[in-house]
Chain A
Amino acid sequence: MNTQTIESQQVTLQKLTPFYGATQAVQPVDVVIRPRSVTAIIGPSGCGKSTVLRCLNRMHEVVPNARVEGTVLLGEHNIYGSGIEPQAVRRRIGMVFQQPNPLRMLSIFENVAIGLRLEGYARNIIDERVEQSLRAAALWDEVKDKLNHSGLALSGGQQQRLCIARAIALQPEVLLLDEPCSALDPVSTYKIEELLIELKQNYTIVIVTHNMQQAARIADRTLVFMVERTQGRPIGVLVEEDDTNKIFTAPRDPRTEDYISGRVG
């Protein structure tokens, strides 16, 4: 599917610092996200994990007054480099949101096709890619007979898989997921987790979750964020980054241990 070399799918964060106006939201983050693996970001609420995730495809700057310092490399290219437009970044780094958000006025087919339509692909390529993406999102068998129906007719879990299909229809390098299962029941959650393990063969996956078991189940690497207070103001900080099983069995940082064992957060 992807023709890129595996190195081009690596994401490197260098002194990445998101701001809301004058307020710094997170301490500078330095971390390498390994290509074609699942990296989980966990931490208590308010620690800035979603903010960091949204910086990775330049969705952070959509919020009024929000800005970013530092660099994020996709492969060896800085997505915040001069001359790089957010639209170009977002088509290479797909995103799935907390709340399933199929476009309300579009059919299931058009929801998946929308990115391709914008880019002016030919009809036969779109047909092919939509089917491919729906199959990859393990949704094809459930919706193939009602492609013209509204996406809202689907269940929450199906809607979320539809959103995953929409994100991978553009064949991005990286897939970002912002607490994709927080609005879903356990069965749907399980299906999505299975799907993600499947998808990591082709995509670099970064998933924010507040559910530690979920991270333990699917993630190869885990980043732990915590909230610190400097001068009375909360600020997120990356406290530990390691293989998932190490994080959960032998955390190096005492704060991680407290969080994992449920003493904080």
Chain B
Amino acid sequence: MITQATNYRRRKLVDYGMRGLTIGATVLALIPLVLILSYVVFRGAGALNIAFFTQAYEPPVVGLDGEVGNAGGVLHGIIGSLIIVGIALIMALPIGILAGVFLAEYPSNSVATVVRFCTDVLSAAPSIVIGVAAYVLIVQRTHQFSALAGSVALAVLMVPVITRTTEEILKLVPHTMREAAMALGAPKWWQTLTVVLPTAMSGIMTGVLLAFARATGETAPLLLTVLGNNNVSVKLLEPMAALPLLTYKYTDTPFPAQNTLAWGTALVLTLLVLTVNLSVRWATRSRTK
């Protein structure tokens, strides 16, 4: 006789209830995602016009009806972000990749353990702390907020991401690929440079892209280092504007036109993050297949 346990009805209810809860939790988590994305897209899309990309800050001229005459654009922020993150990338790439190569090629010695620990420390450190360090090291010394200080802070934030991805990707390169070069008697450095690194390059670029997207959205360290600037500036040793800084600044103003600019910058940043994440996902998928 196939009899059910006497308390099974209650257990089944608990089972259904808890399964429902897990589904509910997942849906609940997707609600803010959908809300944030749709708000950013709908409100931000209204801000994207020619002026948005071609003008810098315009002082709000308040009319009698309280409306601002000319909102201006965020060209200074776009140029600033490109310069700051670009220079950060140039600084972070060699350190990140070569440190990753070191961890992958010489994985088990005490130096590697220390280096690995330090990448963990760096990636665990709140970005504001990195910003404070750059502030003390550069801004305080030079008595000048500067784009360069911001680049240094962002570079420090990028390094652990790039190092870790590089190490993990290099370890995935099959040993047989090295053996082919080894059989010809090539030294280790030659194998690494001509066989291993090129094979792993697309994977490493994935990590670099993710680090790039994350750094572009970082705000707190920039607040302490590049400060912000109302004009288009390309001078590395002076304050500079950056997109996320504008998002922050224009959120906290009473002028609706500037609030709209904030949504616009948010849309640009979100699109960047979305594009990078989607393309990375697409790339890793086709690689694992």
Q: How far is the CA of A4 from the CA of B7 in the complex (A)?
A: 21
A-facing mask of B1-25, CB < 8 A → 1, else 0? 1111111100110000000000000
CB neighbours of A88 from chain B (8 A): 2-5, 8
Q: Give the interface residue-count category, chain A.
A: 10 to 19
Residue of B nearest to A89 (CB): B2
Q: CB of A26 within 8 A of chain B?
A: no
Residues of chain B in range 3-57 having any CB-CB distance to chain A below 8 Å: 3-8, 11-12
Q: How far is the CA of A92 from the CA of B8 in the complex (A)?
A: 14
CB neighbours of B12 from chain A (8 A): 85
CB neighbours of A91 from chain B (8 A): 5
Q: Do A87 and B8 touch (CB < 8 A)?
A: yes
Residues of chain A in range 1-45 having any CB-CB distance to chain B below 8 Å: 4, 8
Residues of chain A in range 85-124 having any CB-CB distance to chain B below 8 Å: 85, 87-89, 91-92, 118-120
Q: Do A119 and B5 touch (CB < 8 A)?
A: yes
- Give the total of B residues in contact with A, Cβ under 8 Å: 10
Q: CB of A84 within 8 A of chain B?
A: yes
Nearest CB of chain A from residue B12's CB, rounded to whole Å:
8
Q: CB of A56 within 8 A of chain B?
A: no
Output the residue of A74, A75, A77, A87 with the most chain B CB within 10 A: A87
Nearest CB of chain A from residue B15's CB, rounded to whole Å:
9
Q: A-B contact count, CB below 8 Å?
A: 33
CB neighbours of A89 from chain B (8 A): 2
Output the residue of B1, B3, B12 with the most chain A CB within 10 A: B1
Nearest CB of chain A from residue B91's CB, rounded to whole Å:
47
Q: Do B4 and A87 touch (CB < 8 A)?
A: yes
Q: Do B7 and A119 touch (CB < 8 A)?
A: yes
Nearest CB of chain B from residue A56's CB, rounded to whole Å:
12
Q: Which of A75, A85, A118, A119 contacts B1 (CB 8 A)?
A: A75
Q: CB of A79 within 8 A of chain B?
A: yes
CB neighbours of B6 from chain A (8 A): 119-120
Chain B at the A interface: SS class: loop
CB neighbours of A85 from chain B (8 A): 4, 8, 12
Residues of chain A in range 36-78 having any CB-CB distance to chain B below 8 Å: 74-75, 77
Q: Do B1 and A4 touch (CB < 8 A)?
A: yes
Nearest CB of chain A from residue B129's CB, rounded to whole Å:
38
Q: Do B4 and A77 touch (CB < 8 A)?
A: no
Output the residue of B5, B6, B7 with the most chain A CB within 10 A: B5
Q: How far is the CA of A84 from the CA of B6 in the complex (A)?
A: 14
Nearest CB of chain A from residue B88's CB, rounded to whole Å:
45
CB neighbours of A4 from chain B (8 A): 1
CB neighbours of B7 from chain A (8 A): 119-120
Q: Do B5 and A79 touch (CB < 8 A)?
A: no
Q: How far is the CA of A91 from the CA of B2 in the complex (A)?
A: 9
Q: Do B11 and A77 touch (CB < 8 A)?
A: no
CB neighbours of B8 from chain A (8 A): 85, 87-88, 119
CB neighbours of A120 from chain B (8 A): 5-7
CB neighbours of A118 from chain B (8 A): 5, 11
CB neighbours of B4 from chain A (8 A): 85, 87-88
Residue of B nearest to A81 (CB): B2
CB neighbours of A119 from chain B (8 A): 5-8
Nearest CB of chain A from residue B149's CB, rounded to whole Å:
51
Residue of B nearest to A170 (CB): B5
CB neighbours of B2 from chain A (8 A): 74, 77, 79, 84, 88-89, 92
Nearest CB of chain B from residue A117's CB, rounded to whole Å:
11
CB neighbours of B11 from chain A (8 A): 118
Q: Contacts A8-B1, A88-B2, A119-B8 known; list 12 others, CB within 8 Å.
A: A75-B1, A85-B4, A85-B8, A87-B4, A87-B8, A88-B3, A88-B5, A89-B2, A92-B3, A118-B5, A119-B5, A120-B5
* A contact residues vs B (CB 8 Å cutoff): 4, 8, 74-75, 77, 79, 84-85, 87-89, 91-92, 118-120
22 CB contacts below 8 A, A to B, read A4-B1, A8-B1, A75-B1, A77-B1, A77-B2, A79-B2, A84-B2, A85-B4, A85-B8, A85-B12, A87-B8, A88-B2, A88-B4, A88-B5, A91-B5, A92-B1, A92-B2, A119-B5, A119-B6, A119-B8, A120-B6, A120-B7
Closest 4 CB pairs of A and B: A119-B5, A88-B4, A120-B7, A77-B2
